[in-house]
Chain A
Amino acid sequence: MSDAGEVELVCLGDTAHILDLGLKMVRGARVRTTLSAISRSRDLEDAKSRGIVGVKVMKAHTIKSESLQSPPDHSSNQRAITRSAVHPSVSTPVQVAPVPLEIDQAPVLKALRELTAEVKSLRKEVRRLPTGPVVDPNLAVLIAEAVRAGLSGLSFSPGVGPSGGFVSPQNLPPEEMFIPRGIVTSTAKQDIETSRSTTGGVDDAEAALRAARRTRPKDGQDG
């Protein structure tokens, strides 16, 4: 039978009795055996913990009975031990009977129920949260008001374009715009070439408009 690895047991104390492996060792005695043979040995664990046996892992290969060397000790039972150690098929694994685990399920179930309820309530809260950015519908108006308040009292140089508004000018009082004076100077007029023509009169239109406005209510609009 091939094994996962080979180990060597070394007796570090005066004597070492590993009864569940059938070993009685004296100081300096070395026994080679398999890893699986010693894995369930409680006596070996006990001896190791008392420091009277050392375990050295050798290379992992199939241990054959012919390759095993007898340990150079004086124990009369070595051969028997070796033989029993070399033939792992002879060794019987320690069988531990499963211990039935008795768990009180009631507190666990109670905790699970409480956790489930908590998760459900958290989900409801998450669903209620807005999925996108919340934008005040009056944001544009508020920004325009804030900018206007901040810029009040400042003067603007000509060339600044007409005041853009985020909101319809119908909703706001007419704002004052800075228009510079002296755009037309007395010396500025030059004889610049223009195109002139004479067309028919507008007397008819003018008379008709005057007549139409007479019949219109006083608060009619001009153009």
Chain B
Amino acid sequence: MQRRHFGPLAGLDQRMDKMAEKQIPLGVGLDVGTMNIVSARRTEKGVETTRIRDSFLDLPLDSKKMLRLSKVSYVERGDEILILGDAAMEMANVFGREARRPLSGGLVSSTESDSLEVLGLLIQNVLGSPKVPGEHCYFSIPAAPVDQVGRDVVYHRGVFDRIVTECGYTAHSANEAMAIIYSETARDGFSGIALSFGSGMTNISLAVSTIEGLSFSVGRGGDWIDSGAAKSIGSTQARICALKEKGVDLNAPQGREQEAIAFYYKNLIEYVLDQIALQFKTIEGKFALPKPIPIIVSGGTSKAGGFIEFFTQVFEKKRKRFPIEISEIRPASDPLNAVAQGLLVQALQEYSED
């Protein structure tokens, strides 16, 4: 029997009913990348993404005063302080140093001794506290690289499983490129080829009707472009990276530096397409593609000016010999957040009533 209130409590039931209707679905997606860590969570207004730069800088304790004046947040750890995230990159320039990165080539860096603790801090700040204890969190893991012998994702997955669990969530790992399939190919029946061009590596997945047919990664990404372009023209990786972020039109590069960048972009795209063709041969007889499928391009490295047109040009030269029929090539609706959003979609499934 519904109770009715009078006086000050009048309308309480209606307010409570409205709150029940507006209950925010639980679940969170967490994209762990070499350059950025991004979380995605449903809110009243839509999907809120929280991003932090995956880098840190260690400074002596006496730098505290200067940082307070600059209003830069930091973490005290013993006899040193750590600056995390975007501020680390800025302060690194001020002190004439390189910011340190806990991930290398897309995986937890084994040579970076502080990587685990820093990752714990970064993820804790990006995820926040769970809405309920044990809230489901899907975090991204790359596929094992096919061109780097001896690298696998076992340790990487274990580390993030532990961190997410210690943050109070129920941790689930999910393939990075497949997350793009879930966020970007609903209109294609969740069929397509997803390419996530990251900093440390490029992840690839092929799926038909939500079923993952092929997933792998290659050890080339944005860092590889920066390194190659820098070496070829005697510049520095940092300078090339800054030039890229400032803006470069791959279809009309200006000057030697931009031409070098465009050259390595072309090389990367060709390499990825060749690897897809090669890896597809291993499943060709076992995986049927009933109709042409789209290629979805995502990742921070794909944000370079004119990337889709550039990619399409390169692909057209290979189309005749490409073993998969492609319906279209399109960018993800939100290249930086597509992975986190796809992971959120999977996390939301955990709370569906099916």
Contacts and interface: CB of A to CB of B under 8 A. Distances in A.
B42 interface: yes
Interface residues of B, number: 80
Contact of A223 (B85, B149, B182): B182
B75 A190 contact: yes
A105 B151 CA distance: 74
Interface stretch (A11-19, A67-75, A112-120, A209-217): A209-217
Interface string A171-202: 00011010111111100111111111111111
Nearest to A205: B186
Interface stretch (A25-33, A55-63, A146-154, A159-167): A159-167
Contacts, number: 193
A204 B108 CA distance: 34
Nearest to B128: A189
A158 interface: yes
Contacts of B109: 161
A10 B349 CA distance: 130
B124 A184 contact: yes
Contacts of B346: 209, 222-223
B159 A205 contact: no
Given A183-B117, A198-B48, A208 B190 contact: yes
Contacts of B87: 192-193
A100 interface: no
Given A212-B190, A223-B182, A197 B155 contact: no
A196 B75 contact: no
B313 interface: no
Contact of A192 (B49, B84, B354): B84
Nearest to B166: A184
Interface in B110-126: 110-113, 115-117, 119-126
Contacts of B49: 196-199
Contact of B107 (A162, A200, A209): A162
Nearest to B85: A192
B120 A210 contact: no
B214 to A, nearest CB: 12
Interface string B167-188: 1000000110011011100100
Of residues A159, A213, A222, which shows the largest number of chain B Cβ atoms within 10 Å of its Cβ? A222
21 contacts: A159-B110, A159-B111, A161-B111, A164-B150, A164-B152, A179-B155, A180-B162, A183-B117, A183-B119, A184-B124, A184-B167, A190-B121, A192-B125, A193-B86, A196-B49, A197-B49, A199-B47, A199-B337, A210-B354, A213-B354, A223-B174
